[in-house]
């Protein structure tokens, strides 16, 4: 399975935003100005190391690309803002990526085809960036409230739009399904000429030597002409499962839901009766009060551990549905509390959760079928024993930490300078971090999900060995005997259980 994350390009200055929202406005302005609205409300969100970046900075996109690869994110889906008469906004990050060929970032585009407007505009479908930034003076100056109007025109306008998209579609990094460039449309129901336009673009793509375009409809499932239909979360679930006016007097906000509850609704959704290809999306978190204030929505009690468990289920569910790709909301929606980028509170925990879920979602304890249950008593006992082993290791490891002991120092004293790590799941990744600052070098890793690994060292599948090491450390301690037997066929050196290390390393 491949994870593509939604990518917001609203992190650089443009003249329009300066005029509408104030000099120097970017998404960071709303994020910095956010305030806690009730007890326990986690605002403002703060990026790790005060990384309030500018997306026009080449080093920023390089850093994002490296972070993606390290934690297993396959690609980014840039929001594409294209309006009446070919007006564009926030287009520079994607255009720059097109120029910076060396940045290894797979990508696609999602056409956010709503008009931009103030909250008082009578448009029924609109993007309101910051209702908190509106005042009576602006209402007097612009009574219509329309900032960027969306009109679709005819073949002349469709041709101009496609010609703008062409170099993106033809880029070798552009994401494809069935050989076709992927293009999402956020509000297809707003396009009166939709079928004609899609057919016109398909013909243009075929003339360009492509197999067509892989059109994906977002949260609209009854409209023909698309190759796939995406549940865009958590918006779909909030819209259909929670009242619009779910006012909580204690929290003083418009709508509140619990993180685990929303995720459970996503995982249990069976989808409409249809032969059409459906993609079930997921999300990291949600809190749009930086943009909406007390009129906002919060999905509270989020935690990386819950995210990891639910993402594992989501990956398995999509695989069972025949999908090769899922869309996760989001990479950097800081103003809506949806992001994977490291923050001050959780650091890299959500990225680590993605990495772990990708490696382990196929394991037998990840059961989907919309009602999770252990199939029989033997399987239940096996699962309990596995987690009991994890608990023992972590307990012993914490005792080591409390005595200021370090596994790396212990290995070095034993004359072990170079190691391989078997199993790069939860315990394995913690071991990697502990050894990073020690005198012990990790030469390679061994894991069944080697292809999904993005580490600073090579990772091979069990049965393959590369390089010379002083010892192999096995982190799945519950299966040590079985793994030992497999390793002995290809390696005659020292094989250590992580349990042995955390018990003896004093």
Note the pLDDT of residue 153. 94
Which of 109, 104, 120, 49 lies closest to 81 in space, CA to CA?
109
Give the pLDDT of the chain (506 residues) as one tens digit per residue.
Answer: 999 999 999 999 999 988 888 899 999 999 999 999 999 999 999 999 999 999 999 999 999 999 999 999 999 999 999 999 999 999 999 999 999 999 999 999 999 998 877 765 555 565 665 666 666 666 666 666 778 888 999 999 999 999 999 999 999 999 999 999 999 999 999 999 999 999 999 999 999 999 999 999 999 988 999 999 999 999 999 998 887 666 666 788 889 999 999 999 999 988 666 678 999 999 999 999 998 888 889 999 999 999 999 999 999 999 999 999 999 999 999 999 999 999 999 999 999 999 999 988 887 344 443 333 444 445 556 666 777 788 888 888 988 888 888 999 999 999 999 999 999 888 898 999 999 889 999 999 998 877 767 788 898 888 777 678 999 999 998 888 888 888 888 888 899 999 989 988 86
Ramachandran quadrant class, 494 (left: phi over 0; alpha: psi -120 to 50; beta: rest): beta
Q: Which DSSP string corresponds to 391-438?
A: HHHHHHHHHHHHTT--HHHHHHHTT--EEEEE--SHHHHHHHHHHHTS
Helices (H), 208-324: 235-241, 259-268, 289-292, 304-320
CA distance 268 to 373: 13
CA distance 496 to 407: 12
Rounded to whole angstroms, what are the CA distances from 326 to 4, 283, 331?
A: 6, 11, 13
DSSP state for residue 124 in the 8-state scheme? S
305 phi/psi in degrees, rounded to 5: -65, -40
Note the pLDDT of residue 402. 86
* Sheet containing 126-127: order of strands: 126-127, 115-117, 146-148
The helix or strand, by DSSP H or E, that contains position 325, with its residue range, turns out to be: strand 325-329
CA distance 186 to 82: 12
- Predicted structure pTM score: 0.74
């Amino acid at each position: 399975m491949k994870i593509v994350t939604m990518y917001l390009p609203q992190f650089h200055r443009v003249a329009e935003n300066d005029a509408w929202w104030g000099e120097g406005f970017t998404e960071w302005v709303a994020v910095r100005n956010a305030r806690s609205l009730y007890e326990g409300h986690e605002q403002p969100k703060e990026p790790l190391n005060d990384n309030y970046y500018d997306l026009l900075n080449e080093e920023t996109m390089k850093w994002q690309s490296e972070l993606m690869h390290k934690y297993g994110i396959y690609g980014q889906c840039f929001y594409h803002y294209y309006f009446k008469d070919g007006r564009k906004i926030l287009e520079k990050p994607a255009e720059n990526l097109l120029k910076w060929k060396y940045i290894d970032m797979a990508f696609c585009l999602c056409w956010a085809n709503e008009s931009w407007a103030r909250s008082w505009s009578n448009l029924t479908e609109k993007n309101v960036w910051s209702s908190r930034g509106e005042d009576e003076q602006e209402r007097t100056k612009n009574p219509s409230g329309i900032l960027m109007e969306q009109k679709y025109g005819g073949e002349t306008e469709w041709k101009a739009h496609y010609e703008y998209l062409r170099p993106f579609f033809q880029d070798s990094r552009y994401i494809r399904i069935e050989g076709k460039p992927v293009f999402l449309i956020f509000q297809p129901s707003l396009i009166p000429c939709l079928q004609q336009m899609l057919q016109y673009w398909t013909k243009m793509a075929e003339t360009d030597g492509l197999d067509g375009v892989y059109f994906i409809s977002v949260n609209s499932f009854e409209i023909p002409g698309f190759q796939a239909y995406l549940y865009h979360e958590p918006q779909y679930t909030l819209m259909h499962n929670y009242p619009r006016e779910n006012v909580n007097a204690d929290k003083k906000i418009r709508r509140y839901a619990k993180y685990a509850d929303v995720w459970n609704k996503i995982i249990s959704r069976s989808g409409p009766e249809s032969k059409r290809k459906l993609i079930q999306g997921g999300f990291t978190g949600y809190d749009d009060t930086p943009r909406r204030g007390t009129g906002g929505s919060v999905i509270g009690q989020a935690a990386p551990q819950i995210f990891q468990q639910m993402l594992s289920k989501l990956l398995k569910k999509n695989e069972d549905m025949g999908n090769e790709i899922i869309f996760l909301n989001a990479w950097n929606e800081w103003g809506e509390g949806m992001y994977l980028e490291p923050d001050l509170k959780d650091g890299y925990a959500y990225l680590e959760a993605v990495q772990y879920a990708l490696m382990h979602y196929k394991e037998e304890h990840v059961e989907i079928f919309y009602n999770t249950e252990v199939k029989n008593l033997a399987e239940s006992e096996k699962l309990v024993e596995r987690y009991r082993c994890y608990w023992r290791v972590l307990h012993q490891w914490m005792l080591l930490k409390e005595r200021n002991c370090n596994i790396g120092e212990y290995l070095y004293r034993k004359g072990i300078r170079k190691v391989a790590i078997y199993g790069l799941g939860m315990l394995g990744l913690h071991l990697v971090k502990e050894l990073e600052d020690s005198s012990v070098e990790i030469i390679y890793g061994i894991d069944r999900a080697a292809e999904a690994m993005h580490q600073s060292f090579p990772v091979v599948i069990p049965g393959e060995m590369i390089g010379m090491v002083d010892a192999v450390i096995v982190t799945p301690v519950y299966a040590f005997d079985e793994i030992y037997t497999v390793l002995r066929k290809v390696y005659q050196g020292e094989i250590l259980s992580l349990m042995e290390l955390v018990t003896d390393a004093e």
